[in-house]
Chain A
């Protein structure tokens, strides 16, 4: 009995010693392990360069986007020193909640009107647990409103195109993110009956943060079954994103001329090269307006 009591006493004291040895911060650290920490800023904006990123806009943020593409036509007849064509898209994009975004816009080329819905399915976590990847489902549609020639069927269903994407990305650290995007495009408009209506493509995108508010991006789409009746190329883009306050500026060089997914994935007419100057300059400006403000209750203590 006495030995039991002594043993009990020893264990009780040992228990104390163990508790005493554990620092207060360590106890808090164990408690905090249960709070999920979702990775922030895999990409800085809803676009990497030309295509969408896994990011959705926060709830109540309205983005006013103005995208410009200054294009060169690589013909010998051109006399122009400056860009010969300009494509502009103006769009409004809104964060319905933190995971669901919607947008609508119009481009000057082809009178192309577009809209999309985007939902963040999986969020990467940076606390060791949970998913190592982020995944976002993208569904977009566009309407080609410009007049068509006599040999192309131009009824409504032929003018509508759809793009479905599963955007999968991972942030590998504070400065590097990578994205892979299996893409399905349904084109309503065909210029030849031999062309496929449905295209499969894979998008690859990366972001490298140079520091502060500046990052570098690269993006490429491989089209598995391109249009057959004329030559098309995979769109490639290199760019710099600069964000400050509520404004985000994206500068890029690319061979893509369109802004809407189905158009630039299936209809990029020129290859990316310096030889005949088919590189287009892109400038996108996004201005964010906060329509819903949080923390209305919060007052500073006097």
Chain B
């Protein structure tokens, strides 16, 4: 009888563990920078979301394009309406895997994250070098990568070609906490 109770409790603990293998970041920060001799543009989204399955190192990221804040308010309108067309493509997403991820017992590691990055209706395979810090069930992922504007079929009118860089630099930092459903 007692054995059965222990079994039950054991199963419950197991099932809890299975749930807590997911960690989520609800207020990830993603910033991008475009530098040209004519103009410097920067924008930040502090509500990007990401989730990691610690069991297999799978990771997903999703952010709303409308949530990007620009240095100049008018740029947000142009960005959403004329460039990323957020009415049609409201989100940018990433789905992939952290290669060689060690979720437990390593305080700091640098890993490659390989997966599909989708934006403006175009999906491409990308590889991003990511620094992972962890402790007590919390994980912080940070890094930077570059995006070629043309790869995602974002058209820039000739008149503004000098104002917007062909390649924009993207910085990100996500702080993960255990995911409770």
Contact surface of A with B, Cβ cutoff 8 Å: 1-2, 5, 8-9, 12, 15-16, 19, 23-25, 27-29, 31-32, 35, 37-41, 44, 57-61, 95, 98, 126-127, 171, 173-174, 209, 212-213, 243-246, 288, 290, 293-295, 298, 300-301
Contacts and interface: CB of A to CB of B under 8 A. Distances in A.
Contacts of A59: 73
A37 B53 contact: no
Contact of B69 (A9, A171, A246, A295): A295
Contacts of B106: none
B49 interface: yes
A257 B15 CA distance: 74
Nearest to A23: B60
Interface in B18-37: 18-19, 22, 24, 26, 31, 33
Interface in B63-113: 64, 66-67, 69-74, 76-78, 80-82, 85-88, 90-91, 93, 95
A5 B86 CA distance: 51
B124 interface: no
A16 B18 contact: yes
B74 A35 contact: no
B47 A35 contact: yes
Closest 8 CB pairs of A and B: A58-B73, A24-B60, A174-B87, A28-B62, A41-B81, A290-B72, A25-B60, A300-B33
B85 A24 contact: no
B132 interface: no
B136 interface: no
B120 interface: no
Contact of A174 (B50, B59, B73, B85): B85
A294 B73 contact: yes
B51, B85, B163: residue with the most chain A Cβ atoms closer than 10 Å: B51
B2 to A, nearest CB: 12
